[in-house]
């Protein structure tokens, strides 16, 4: 477990469930806010600037997707881990397409949830085997032309981060090479994964290698 206590916001429309999650996380994370609907969630996230948002999929006011769609307007975008009773493929794929980094069900135990939060904070997608299969199946049909269009949507900084990430550099190493903060690297990685519709650094490496982007010299 990381020595850093991740700052977490819990978004779920059941107050009793939020209280239970808060109790489970108390020793390992800092729960900085809670919300029960979309509008309240965006307000709390904006005010508290958490590292990770635990987000229910079925939420009053538009669902978890509506929360994710509201995050790009924030000054500091948190990582999002969906935490839902649902394990339906359509729910998993919808929130990942909208920008969540991972998806776990409410059957998860406390220690595993803390580990999932830490991995999500570091920009690593988190899925169970069954849920990961839904995501990979949903994104495997994208054609090369569409993916090239997605690459054109990356900023120069995001492309640079993409190359470093694909070559296996850790966030801190990328930050040193680019002379930016690790948190800025994390933000860029989130944008790269979202725009290219990828779910892990391994997929980033495979995506870049297929296009010859890793050929030639490396510093």
pLDDT 10s digits, 62-118:
889 899 888 877 777 899 999 999 888 888 888 888 888 889 999 999 999 999 999
User: Distances from the Cα of 75 to the Cαs of 16, 78, 128, 199, in angstroms?
Assistant: 31, 10, 31, 23
Q: Which residues contact 210 (CB under 8 A, 6 or more apart)?
A: none
pLDDT of residue 71: 83
pLDDT (average), residues 116-133: 83
**pLDDT of residue 219 exceeding 50:** no
Q: What does the mean pLDDT of the chain come to?
A: 83
Q: Which of 8-12, 147-151, 194-198, 211-215 has the lowest mean pLDDT?
A: 147-151
Which tokens go with 159? 């492309």
**Burial state string for 38-56 with b = 16 or more CB within 10 A and e = fewer than 16:** bebbbebbeebebbbbbbb
141-177 confidence digits (pLDDT tens):
544 444 555 667 788 888 888 888 888 888 888 999 8
Quote the DSSP letter at residue 197. Answer: T
pLDDT (average), residues 196-203: 75
Q: How many residues would you count in the chain?
A: 219
| φ, ψ dihedrals at 56, nearest 5° | -75, 150
pLDDT of residue 28: 93
Quote the DSSP letter at residue 73. Answer: G
> 127, 103 in Cβ contact below 8 A?
yes
12-39 confidence digits (pLDDT tens):
999 999 999 999 999 999 999 999 999 9
Percent of the chain with pLDDT over 70: 85
pLDDT of residue 26: 92
Q: Which of 177, 165, 173, 157 is nearest to 213 (CA)?
A: 165
> 118, 1 in Cβ contact below 8 A?
yes
Place of tokens 């977490």: 8
Task: Find the helix packing angle between 63-70 and 38-48, rounded to 10°.
Answer: 40
| φ, ψ dihedrals at 55, nearest 5° | -120, 120
pLDDT (average), residues 6-12: 96
48-65 confidence digits (pLDDT tens):
999 999 999 998 888 898
pLDDT of residue 33: 96
202-211 confidence digits (pLDDT tens):
777 777 776 7
Alpha-helical regions (H) of 63-200: 63-70, 89-98, 110-121, 129-139, 144-152, 156-166, 171-178, 182-196
Cβ neighbours around 35 below 10 Å, total = 24
């Amino acid at each position: 477990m990381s020595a850093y206590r991740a700052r977490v916001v819990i978004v779920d429309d059941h107050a009793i469930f939020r209280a239970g999650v808060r109790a489970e996380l108390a020793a390992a994370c800092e729960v900085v806010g809670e919300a029960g609907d979309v509008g309240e969630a965006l307000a709390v996230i904006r005010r508290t600037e958490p590292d990770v948002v635990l987000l229910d999929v079925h939420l009053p006011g538009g669902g978890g997707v509506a929360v994710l769609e509201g995050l790009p307007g924030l000054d500091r975008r948190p990582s999002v881990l969906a935490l839902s009773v649902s394990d339906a493929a359509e729910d998993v794929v919808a929130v990942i397409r909208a920008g969540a980094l991972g998806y776990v069900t409410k059957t998860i135990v406390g220690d595993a949830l803390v580990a999932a939060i830490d991995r999500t904070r570091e920009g690593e997608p988190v899925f169970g085997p069954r849920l990961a299969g839904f995501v990979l199946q949903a994104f495997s049909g994208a054609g090369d032309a569409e993916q090239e269009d997605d690459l054109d949507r990356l900023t120069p900084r995001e492309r640079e981060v993409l190359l470093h990430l694909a070559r296996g550099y850790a966030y801190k190493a990328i930050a040193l090479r680019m002379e930016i903060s690790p948190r800025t690297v994390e933000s860029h990685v989130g944008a790269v994964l979202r725009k290219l519709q990828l779910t892990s650094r391994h997929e980033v490496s495979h995506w870049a290698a297929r296009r010859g982007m890793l050929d030639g010299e490396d510093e």
